[in-house]
Amino acid sequence: MKKIFLFGSLNADLTIRAPYIPQAGETLKGSDFMLTAGGKGANQAYACANLGGDIRMAGCVGNDPFGDMLVKSLQGAGADTSCVRRTRRNTGVAVITVVDGDNRIILDEGANGEATLSDVEALLADASAGDIFITQLENPLSVVEGALALAKRKGLFTLFNPAPARAEARCCVGYADLITPNESELRILSGKDGVEEGCRELIKMGAGAVLATLGKEGSLYWNGTEKTNIGIVDAGKAVDTTAAGDTFCGALAVRLAEGASPLEAARFASLCSGIAVTRRGAQISIPTRAEAEEMQKKLSR
């Protein structure tokens, strides 16, 4: 198995259920408050570790209880956190409101904004050509771009999850061997309204291949010559989509590291994200490899 190296964000997630999104000035009674470990980078690293990957993560947290919680959560799953750096700035925080299984998120980047290219250089110091590199967009854009460029120069397979997307991140697209936008991210990055048109545009911008996640419509893989639709996996009633995309990316990376094709990896990722949405929370919703394989057996009967 190849090693997986991940540069990304770590956040404490403060999640609450609500019957609807409140209007300006309105106080609304919520329920089921949870404080859990999250952040796109940390969620994806946790997913990699929980699903059997050899994963090392770089990122930043504060010298505070939230930072302790995040590092311990990753270590508990088996991730290498030796490149997670402590800063004087507070740990990043995500305030999440869940309505009818869908989430709305407000971020305070905190220590995530302190990450530098030196953190990435330390992460990739002993990486080998063919290893997997993953990153997202919850750290400074210039550092994310530099990280992708460095990983590319070292010969790693670069997996870029452009979330949360912004048009300025188009500078990163050409470094991605595989880019995994959702529909809104695809539209923002490509400037195109249609899914297929958006995928074609990202290929023109230099991406090796696109795996667009389309919610209930599954996902679409497009590498410029091959186009394949991949359906969702119905593992039960969806109750919270908070870490679905991160579970998808982590599972994708693990199977790629094991030598699977992008399509094989995408099908496994769909299975794992299908399980994650049936559970509340971020990292605590991510299945283990044993759970994923058991669900795979159950669905194939």
Does the annotation count 246 as an active-site position? yes
pLDDT at residue number 112:
98
Per-residue pLDDT of the chain (301 residues; tens, 9 = 90+): 899 999 999 999 998 999 999 999 999 999 999 899 999 999 999 999 999 999 999 999 999 999 999 999 999 999 999 999 999 999 999 898 988 878 888 989 999 999 999 999 999 999 999 999 999 999 999 999 999 999 999 999 999 999 999 999 999 999 999 999 999 999 999 999 999 999 999 999 999 999 999 988 889 999 988 899 998 887 777 777 777 899 999 999 999 999 999 999 999 999 999 999 888 877 888 999 999 999 888 877 7
The span from the CA of 195 to the CA of 5, in Å, is 29
DSSP-assigned beta bridge partners for residue 87: 62
Which one of 3.40.50.300, 3.40.1190.20, 3.40.50.2300, 3.20.20.70 gives the CATH number of domain 4-23+30-296? 3.40.1190.20
The span from the CA of 192 to the CA of 212, in Å, is 13
Q: Which of 37, 105, 17 is nearest to 282 (CA)?
A: 37
pLDDT at residue number 232:
81
DSSP-assigned beta bridge partners for residue 222: 210, 227
pLDDT at residue number 215:
83
Are 165 and 189 within 8 A, CB to CB? yes
> Among the options 13, 131, 240, 246, which is catalytic?
246
- How is the chain split into domains, by residue range? 4-23+30-296
